[in-house]
Amino acid sequence: MSSNVKWIKLSTQMFEDEKIRLIESMPEADTILIIWVKLLAQAGKTNASGYIYLAENIPFTDEMLATIFNRPLPTVRLALTTLERFGMIEINENQMICISNWEKHQNVQGLDKIREQTRQRVARHREQKKLEVTESVTEEVTLHVTDKEEEKELDIDKEKEKNIIPYREIISYLNVKTSSSYKPASKKTKELINARWNEGFTLEDFKKVIDNKTAEWLNDSNMSQYLRPVTLFGTKFESYLNQKGVKGNATDPTSKRGPDLPF
């Protein structure tokens, strides 16, 4: 969680939104709207593309939210149910809460900058710790200890990354590149992304595959139809990722029969 985020963005036309107007007609309307703003603020502090959690593998329970929001538990549950029904939040199978359309509520580029600054600060801290170890033990022992610590940190980082798969960011990137409107909550799409993620591929790998195949197929009337999750994230994902010298209207060099088809 990034404590460097001190603000969230709210639209001056917020109360003209139809969903907000409907909520205002409900019992406990004021409290529900306060909880909505508190959720936005909490997502800003978490700074994880709209997700809200206590730790990366610990979701907030209703009871936790009631405590930190200082609101009765039944009211918090009513608010969460209402906001989820109106599509303002999503709650996944791991009970992680995510603000829908997070880009509406934040300066995403600004948050990315904060995340990068945090990453650099952590990297500097780790480097400093390595130097301290080097000064206190012999070179041979230092190298051994440092390598073990680094491997352990990398393993911990990988486990944390696996806990939250960036379905929304991957599909948003595909939609922008192809002017499409695929849904990140689609069961089939999530299964495909999950399968590749569990094979060790990263967010940057997904973006590279999208870039490669968009450059190759987007302007090809016969192939542009295959710029979709079932094709891009299927069994040929690795060959698409490692494709060299991509050119427009080219065929896939790894197969004579073209892209994976959904049948």
Q: Please tell me the predicted confidence (pLDDT) of residue 56.
A: 80
Q: What is the pTM of this model?
A: 0.40
Give me the pLDDT at residue 223, please.
Answer: 92
The whole-number mean pLDDT for each consecutive block of 10 residues of the chain, a chain of 263 residues, reads 64 85 91 92 85 88 93 94 93 90 64 58 74 62 61 66 82 93 91 93 95 92 92 93 69 47 46
pLDDT at 1: 47
Query: Cα–Cα distance between 21 and 33 in angstroms, integer?
Result: 10
* 3 state DSSP class of 8: coil
> Rounded to 5 degrees, what are φ and ψ at 3?
-80, 0
- Give domain 14-104's CATH architecture: Orthogonal Bundle (1.10)
Could you tell me if 170 and 182 are in contact, meaning their C-beta atoms sit under 8 angstroms apart? no
One-letter amino acid of 221: S
Determine how β-strand 97-99 pairs with β-strand 51-52.
antiparallel
> How far apart (Å, rounded) are the C-alpha atoms in residues 10 and 237?
39
Phi, psi of 58, deg, nearest 5 = -130, 100
Q: What is the pLDDT of residue 43?
A: 87
d(CA 52, CA 45): 9
Q: What's the pLDDT score for residue 182?
A: 93
Per-domain residue ranges of the chain: 14-104, 108-163, 167-241
Three-state DSSP class for residue 156: helix
- What SS3 state is found at 256? coil
Task: Give the DSSP H/E element, type plus range, for residue 77.
Answer: helix 73-85
DSSP secondary structure letter of residue 90: E
Instruction: Dig out the tokens for 22 from the structure.
Output: 């409907």
Distance of CA 20 to CAs 57, 72, 81, 101, 238, Å?
31, 21, 14, 15, 44
**In degrees rounded to 5, what are phi and psi of residue 228?**
-145, 160
| pLDDT the model gives residue 252 | 44
CA 22 to chain centre: 29
Task: Give the tokens for residue 131.
Answer: 């130097």
Positive or negative torsion for Cα 83, 165, 59, 104 = negative
pLDDT number for residue 152: 73
Give the residue carrying structure tokens 């994880």: 48
